[in-house]
Amino acid sequence: MSIADLRITAEPIDNGRCKFLVSEPIHAGGVRRFASPDEARGSPLPEAIFAIPGADVSEVIVSGNLVTVVKRNPAPWPVVGKAVGQAIRAALAGGQPAVTAKPVAPESATTDDALYERVADLFDSQVNPMVARHGGRVELIDVQDAVVMVRMAGGCQGCGMADVTLRQGIEAMLQQHVPDVKGIVDITDHTAGSNPYFAAAKK
Amino acid sequence: MPRAAPRLLLLLPTVTYRTVAFVEAARRLGVEVTVASERPSTFEQANPTGLVTLDFADPARAAGQARAFAHTHLVHGVVAVDDDTAVVAAAVAEELGLRGNPVAAAAAARDKHQQRQLLAAAGVAVPRFELLTSAADPERVARGASYPCVLKPLRLSASRGVVRADTPDGFMAAFRRLKAILEQPEVARCGDWARRILVEEFVPGPEVAVEGLVTQGALTVLAIFDKPDPLEGPFFEETIYVTPSRLAPTAQQQVAACAQAAVSALGLQEGPIHAEVRYNDRGAWLIELAARPIGGRCSGALRFESRDGGGEVRDASLEEIIIRHALGMPIPTLEREAQASGVMMIPVPGAGVLRGVRGVGEAEQVPLVEEVVITAHPGQTLVPWPEGSRYPGFIFARGETSEAVQGALRAAHARLEFLTEPAD
C-alpha cells in the first residue's frame, strides 16, 4: 500500500487527548510512550508530532496501528488533527522505522515494573472477572511513567458504555488499590468492535 | 477548608452515543460524576459512589432511588441525554430540589400528542392533528383524512416510524407499516403509547433545527441548523445539518419566537432543548420539541468560544455548557464559534449486514472535512427508515460559509462505499 492510500481516522477522547487509527501498522514492538521531545529523539513519528507548531503536545503513545496524542493547547482536535495526520504520513514515508525500539532499563523501569505487577494482579483478580460478565476483557498493555495503557476487547470493544467502564470502573479501582498510578489510557480501536455489549442505538 | 467538587448525576442509557462526550466534559470541568444507567454496571459494587442503577422506565421510582443515593452522596445537579431520561431527570430534580424541569412539562415534551395539545391550546402554530389507536380501521380513517398527511408514533426517536401519505391507499400502507413497527416486541412493551398513532397535516417548507438552553423559562438560542435536504417524505431520515442558518434574519427571529412559545406552553424551565421548526409563507411551525440536546454525535458540530483575560480563545462543548448550567456553575459563553459548521448523518445505504466501509481516508481528505466517524460495526444489520433509526456514521466539516461546509459534506459522503451483504 502506498502512503497515498493510507487511511487515518481521528477519535478524540476529549479536548486534550485523541487517538489516531492508521490503516497500516506503525510499531510492532509493543507500546511506546513519549512524554517529552527529548524522549522522542531518534523516533521520527513522535519527533514530528512534538514539533507541530502551537500544538503544545505533551505526550505521544504508539502501539500497533494506533497513535494517541495528548496536547495542552485548547485548540480543538480538528485543527490539530490534520497536522498529526501529515506527521504520520511523513514518518511512514521515510526510510527508517517511525518509532525506535524501547530502550533498555529506563530510570523509571523498576517503578513501572512494580506497578505493572500490581495492576496486573488487580486486573486478574477483580477487573476482568467483572467485565467478563458482559463478555468483555481488558488487557493490560503496559505501564510507562506510572500511566497504565489498556486495550478493551470482547463486549467492551465498541460498547456504548466503554468510557463509563474505563472511568467509573477501572480508573476508580486503580485510584483505590494502586494509588501510585497517575493515569490510564485506552488504546482500543473501538470502531473495530464486532460484538459490543451495548451498541449505541439512538440518534 | 476547600469546597468539594460538585457532584453531577449523569443519566446515561446503556445504548446512547453520548457517553464519551458527557463523561469527558464532566472530567474536564473537574466535577464528580455519578453515572446512572437503567442496567447495573459490572463495577457498581466496586464503585458505589460513581455508578448507580435507576429505573428509567419509571421516573417516580427512579427519583426514589436517586433520593436513596443522595442520602449518602450529596448530588448538586442532574443531566439527561435523551428523551426518556429527560423525564427521569425532571423527577430526580423535583425530588432532590435541583435545577430542572417540572415533571409534567418534561412528560408533555416526551409525548407528541400531549405536546400538540398543549401547544395548540397556547396558540403555537402546529399542524392539525388527530390521535388514532392502532386498532382503528385504516380504510375508514383514510377515507376521512386530509392529504398530504403524516403518520407518527407518539414517542420513537430519530423519525423512526414517521411516514407521509398523499392518498387513501398511501395512508393504509403507511398505517400498516407503522402498526407493524409498534407491534415489534421491544416497542409494544413500552406502554400504551405504543398502541397510538398520531396523524397530522403535512406542513410544507424548509425545516430547521433549533438548539437552545432554557433558564428560568427563557430560551437562549444556541444555534439554528439548516437542513438543506428537503424533508418531504415519504420517510424522514435526516442527513445534513449546517449552521449558521441561511434563513432571512426575520425568519430566524420567527423560528426562535416559535420555539420560545413552545417552551412556555409546555412549561419547561431549565436545561437544553432541541426543536424542529418548519418555515413557510404562513410563518414558523413547531413540528417537535424535545427537552434534551441534539442527538447522536451531532453535538460535535457545535463549539462555543470565549476569550479569557489574556485574550486566549477557550472553547467549550455543548455538553460542558449543559453540565455547567445544571450545576449552577458560571457559563463563560453561549456564543457559537465564528466559523460555519455542519454534520451529515450518513444515510443508511440499504438493508443488509455491514461488512466494511471503503473510502473513509479519501472522505477525510476532502477540504473542510474534519472527521468521518463510522459508528456501525462490522456485522451490524443496517435497517433503512422508517423501520430503522440508526445512522451508520457521521461526517463533520467546518469552513467560512454554510454553503462551503454543505458542499464538503456531500463530497465526503460521495467518497464512501458501504459493503453490505443481505441479512438472513
Provide DSSP, B395-413.
EEEEESSHHHHHHHHHHHH
Percent of chain B with pLDDT over 70: 99
Axis-axis angle for helices B318-327, B19-29 (nearest 10): 60
Q: Residue B1 domain-assigned?
A: no
ipTM, two decimals, is 0.73
Q: Residue B392 domain-assigned?
A: yes
SS3 content of chain A, % helix, strand, coil (to 5): 35, 25, 35
Please indicate whether, in this complex, the C-beta atoms of A164 and B370 are within 8 angstroms of each other: no
Say yes or no: B44 and B95 in one domain. yes
Please say if the pLDDT value at position A1 is more than 70. no
* Chain B CA closest to residue A129: B42
Average pLDDT over residues A123-149: 89
Say yes or no: B153 and B252 in one domain. no
Min Cα–Cα distance to chain B from A190, Å? 9
Among B46, B389, B396, the residue with its CB nearest the CB of A169 is B46
Say yes or no: B212 and B318 in one domain. yes
Do the strands A147-154 and A136-144 form a parallel or antiparallel pair, or are they unpaired?
A: antiparallel
Say yes or no: B194 and B258 in one domain. no
The per-residue b/e assignment along A100-135, b for 16 or more CB within 10 angstroms, e otherwise, is beeeeeeeeeeebeebbeebeebbeeebeebbeebe
CATH number of A83's domain: 3.30.1370.70
Is the CB of residue B182 less than 8 Å from the CB of residue B175?
no
Find residue A99's DSSP bridge partners: none
Is the CB of residue A127 less than 8 Å from the CB of residue A173?
yes
Average pLDDT over residues A140-144: 87
CATH number of B55's domain: 3.40.50.20
What gap in Å lies between CA A173 and CA B282, rounded to an integer? 59
**Burial zone of A83 (CB within 10 Å; 0-12 exposed, 13-18 middle, 19+ buried):** middle
Sign of CA dihedral B130, B131, B134, B135: negative
B392, three cell numbers: 451508520
Do the strands B7-11 and B77-80 form a parallel or antiparallel pair, or are they unpaired?
A: parallel
Strand order in the sheet with B240-243: B283-290, B271-280, B207-215, B218-226, B240-243, B340-345, B393-399, B369-374
Task: Check whether the bond before B332 is cis (ω within 30° of 0).
Answer: no
Residues across chain A: 203
Min Cα–Cα distance to chain A from B61, Å? 23
Higher pLDDT, A126 or A16: A126
B291, three cell numbers: 427537552
CATH number of B310's domain: 3.30.470.20
**Count: domains in chain A:** 2
* Helix, coil or strand: residue B212: strand
Q: What is the pLDDT of residue B189?
A: 84
Is the CB of residue A65 less than 8 Å from the CB of residue A25?
yes
Is the CB of residue B376 less than 8 Å from the CB of residue B216?
no
Q: What is the pLDDT of residue B213?
A: 98
List, for residues B85-108, the tens digit of each pLDDT value. Answer: 999 999 999 999 999 999 999 999
Please say if the pLDDT value at position A202 is more than 50. no
CATH number of A174's domain: 3.30.300.130
CATH number of B182's domain: 3.30.1490.20
Do the strands B393-399 and B369-374 form a parallel or antiparallel pair, or are they unpaired?
A: antiparallel
**Count: domains in chain B:** 4
Q: Which amino acid is at A164?
A: V
Please say if the pLDDT value at position B7 is more than 90. yes
- Which chain B residues are within 8 Å of A76, Cβ to Cβ? 303, 315
Please indicate whether, in this complex, the C-beta atoms of A173 and B12 are within 8 angstroms of each other: no
Min Cα–Cα distance to chain A from B123, Å? 30
With cut-offs at 50, 70 and 90, classify the pLDDT of residue B377. confident
Picking from B301, B327, B353, the residue at the C-terminal end of a domain is: B327
List, for residues B310-362, the tens digit of each pLDDT value. Answer: 777 778 899 999 999 999 999 989 999 999 999 999 999 999 999 989 998 89
With cut-offs at 50, 70 and 90, classify the pLDDT of residue A3. low
Is the CB of residue A162 less than 8 Å from the CB of residue A150?
no
Q: Residue A198 domain-assigned?
A: no
Say yes or no: A72 and A122 in one domain. no
Please indicate whether, in this complex, the C-beta atoms of A173 and B43 are within 8 angstroms of each other: yes
Mean pLDDT of chain B: 93
Q: Residue A68 domain-assigned?
A: yes
Task: Report how far apart the first and last C-alpha atoms of chain A are (Å, whole number).
Answer: 36
What gap in Å lies between CA B287 and CA B124, rounded to an integer? 10
Please indicate whether, in this complex, the C-beta atoms of A74 and B238 are within 8 angstroms of each other: no
Say yes or no: B17 and B101 in one domain. yes
With cut-offs at 50, 70 and 90, classify the pLDDT of residue A106. low
Q: Which domain holds residue B154?
A: 128-201
Say yes or no: A130 and A59 in one domain. no
Please say if the pLDDT value at position A119 is more than 90. yes
Say yes or no: A86 and A13 in one domain. yes
Q: Which amino acid is at B161?
A: G
Three-state helix/strand/coil letters over B243-270: ECCCCCHHHHHHHHHHHHHHHHHHCCCC
CB of B339 less than 8 A from some CB of A? no
Please say if the pLDDT value at position A203 is more than 60. no
Q: Residue A200 domain-assigned?
A: no
Q: What is the pLDDT of residue A104?
A: 63
Say yes or no: B158 and B267 in one domain. no
Min Cα–Cα distance to chain A from B84, Å? 11
Average pLDDT over residues A34-57: 90
List, for residues A174-188, the tens digit of each pLDDT value. Answer: 999 999 999 898 888
Say yes or no: B63 and B175 in one domain. no
* Chain B CA closest to residue A23: B361
pTM recorded for the entire structure: 0.83
Q: What is the pLDDT of residue A107?
A: 60
Please indicate whether, in this complex, the C-beta atoms of A9 and B377 are within 8 angstroms of each other: no
CB of B161 less than 8 A from some CB of A? no
Q: What is the pLDDT of residue B9?
A: 98
CB of B73 less than 8 A from some CB of A? no
Q: Which domain holds residue A139?
A: 109-192
Is the CB of residue B281 less than 8 Å from the CB of residue B234?
no
Please say if the pLDDT value at position B262 is more than 50. yes
DSSP B58-78: -HHHHHHHHHHHHHHS---EE
Please indicate whether, in this complex, the C-beta atoms of B372 and A9 are within 8 angstroms of each other: yes
Say yes or no: A87 and A160 in one domain. no
Number of A–B residue contacts, CB under 8 Å: 148
Q: What is the dihedral of CA B16, B79, A150, B393, to 10 degrees?
A: 30
- Which chain A residues are within 8 Å of B314, Cβ to Cβ? 74
